[in-house]
Structure 1
Amino acid sequence: MAELAALWIVRHGESTANVAAAHAESTGAELIGLSHRDADVPLSPTGEDQARATGRWLAGLPPHRRPDVAVVSPYLRAVRTAELALDGTGVPVSRDERLRDRELGILDGLTAHGVRARFPDEAARRTRLGKFYYRPPGGEAWTDVALRLRALLGDLRRDHEGERVLLFGHDALVFMLRYLVEGLTEEELMALTRQHVIANCSITGWSADDTGRLTLDVFNDIGHLHRQGARPTREDEVHAEPV
């Protein structure tokens, strides 16, 4: 199979919805209270600082390790993260809707408490089916995200064989890329989701080994934010989806 030389994914910087969701969850509210549709949520000032720090990390890579191309989720928070991080690099950028965030359907904009309070039958169905296969009405299961990412990976391998590709996207995509690239089982993937919260502007990456197979180099790393003086988002402030 044709393979990439390297693949990275950067989660977008802290967004205004991350801030609102953390506050809503901490106060026991049912609604996050967003003023934008999900696709139009902007970065917070902290998120913009994180994106610029990611750009300084990119600039510090040796030439043979820098990305050849970048592919970005069309959602504003990811687009803006990419714009700030890639400013002045000359890296070609394209957008791909297959990198959008997981769609939550009728549960969009609700906290975990809000889901239990307003849709108890859905909360029970999610518990019965499990996180991997549960699909909220009007939304996507994790398996749906896997299908679109599997197609994207196929296109990247065909169109960018031997190149280094940088993706900008969302927390669920980081987990699902590990599932796809590394051939994880459902159980292994779900264990990862219990153990880790994907940080804003974290870096996850793989590079080709001697056999040409992509192997994990770094996961959910935010060391560059500390080194570049940007404030990492605390784990309790990172919005995780309610289901």
Structure 2
Amino acid sequence: MAARHHDRRGTDDAGARTPPGPGARGRLVLIPGFPAPGVDVAELTVIRHGQSLSNELLIAANKQGISSVSGLPARDADVPLSARGEREAAAVGRWAAGLENPPDLVIASPYLRAQLTAQAAVDALGGGVEFRLDDRVRDREIGVLTLMTEAAVRAAYPDEVKRWEETGFLYYRPPGGESHSDMAIRLRSFLTDLGRYASGRRVLVVAHDSVVVMLRYVIEGLVEDDVQAIARAGGIKNASVTRWEWDGSALGLTLFNDIQHL
């Protein structure tokens, strides 16, 4: 699905956020955050990794009513792609090979599932492509809740469920994990460095669903309701493509969660 970026700071009737005017005292008005400044890459494309073995097993656990995933061959960061994920990575490679204006810088999360997906793109692009890893685009760390189904979390950690409901999408931090707001901090750092290092270049990042969601939050200056709606609207698909392009003053969203290449 392609999607164009719409400025949320206007005054239309579709959820616009406007500063309070005369007589607005005491009324809460939501104003978007500042979009990420100075990230003047020509194009920033972000792909979620292909389906991992843990993704596959978690889907099966939900269907079978099993509380958590077991039997993985390694820690979460080192879990490989599933057979389906390998096919999706190959499709990413074919997609990369067919780009009219390919990236010359590829950055991947250090998690194995992201590295394997990125490598398929790098191999397809051929020589001259710079390939780097950056742990700031790793997946969200969810601590004690890792690889648990939602039903299992509600059964085992009812106090955490209550705390999540009270704290909210951006600020809830599970024990041993990080909040989405924590992610935003490291992604702002990543984008700042990217703007310094890759000004004017076409960049491909291969990362995770939470990274795609929170990059939208940071780049577009969204508010909590916006980003929570994005996260809940069907999820970020494995091997999907999201893209922002530089328009002379800012990065604008031109493609979101697209899987036409699969």
| TM-score normalised per structure 1 | 0.89
Match of 1:218 in 2: 255
1:208 and 2:208 are equivalent in the alignment? no
Match of 2:149 in 1: 111
Match of 1:27 in 2: 64
Identify which range, 155-164 or 108-117, moves more after superposition.
108-117
- Identical-pair percentage: 48
| 1:117 partner letter | A
Tell me the CA shift for residue 130 of structure 1. 1.2
Q: Take 1:24 and 1:178, find their aligned partners in 2: how far apart are those partners?
A: 30
Tell me the CA shift for residue 109 of structure 1. 2.0
| Match among 105, 121, 143 for residue 181 of structure 2 | 143
Q: Take 1:193 and 1:47, find their aligned partners in 2: how far apart are those partners?
A: 21
Residues 2/126 of structure 1: CA separation in 2 closer, same or farther (3 Å cut): closer
| 1:75 partner letter | Y
Identify which range, 146-155 or 34-43, moves more after superposition.
34-43
Identify which range, 23-32 or 163-172, moves more after superposition.
23-32
| Match among 59, 72, 77 for residue 113 of structure 2 | 77
Cα pair 1:98 1:149 within 8 Å, conserved: yes
Match of 2:55 in 1: 18
Superposed CA deviations along residues 117-169 of structure 1, whole A, max 9, x for unmatched, are 11111111111111211000110100011111110000000011111110000
User: Secondary structure of the equivalent of 1:47?
Assistant: helix
1:6 and 2:43 are equivalent in the alignment? yes
Residues 2/116 of structure 1: CA separation in 2 closer, same or farther (3 Å cut): closer
Q: What are the equivalent positions in structure 2 for 1:153-168 lying under 5 Å apart? A: 153-168=191-206
Tell me the CA shift for residue 80 of structure 1. 0.6
Residues 221/147 of structure 1: CA separation in 2 closer, same or farther (3 Å cut): same
Match of 2:232 in 1: 194
Cα pair 1:30 1:117 within 8 Å, conserved: no
Q: Take 1:123 and 1:190, find their aligned partners in 2: how far apart are those partners?
A: 16
| TM-score normalised per structure 2 | 0.82
Q: Take 1:85 and 1:17, find their aligned partners in 2: how far apart are those partners?
A: 22
User: Secondary structure of the equivalent of 1:134?
Assistant: coil
User: Secondary structure of the equivalent of 1:86?
Assistant: helix
Cα pair 1:68 1:92 within 8 Å, conserved: yes
Moved over 2 A (4+): none
Note the residue ranges of structure 1 that are not aligned, 5 or more in a row. Answer: 226-243
| Match among 211, 214, 231 for residue 173 of structure 1 | 211
Residues 34/220 of structure 1: CA separation in 2 closer, same or farther (3 Å cut): farther
* More helix, by proportion: 1
Q: Take 1:73 and 1:2, find their aligned partners in 2: how far apart are those partners?
A: 19
Q: Take 1:13 and 1:194, find their aligned partners in 2: how far apart are those partners?
A: 20
Larger radius of gyration: 2
Tell me the CA shift for residue 196 of structure 1. 3.0
Q: Take 2:216 and 2:201, find their aligned partners in 1: how far apart are those partners?
A: 19
Residues 2/147 of structure 1: CA separation in 2 closer, same or farther (3 Å cut): closer
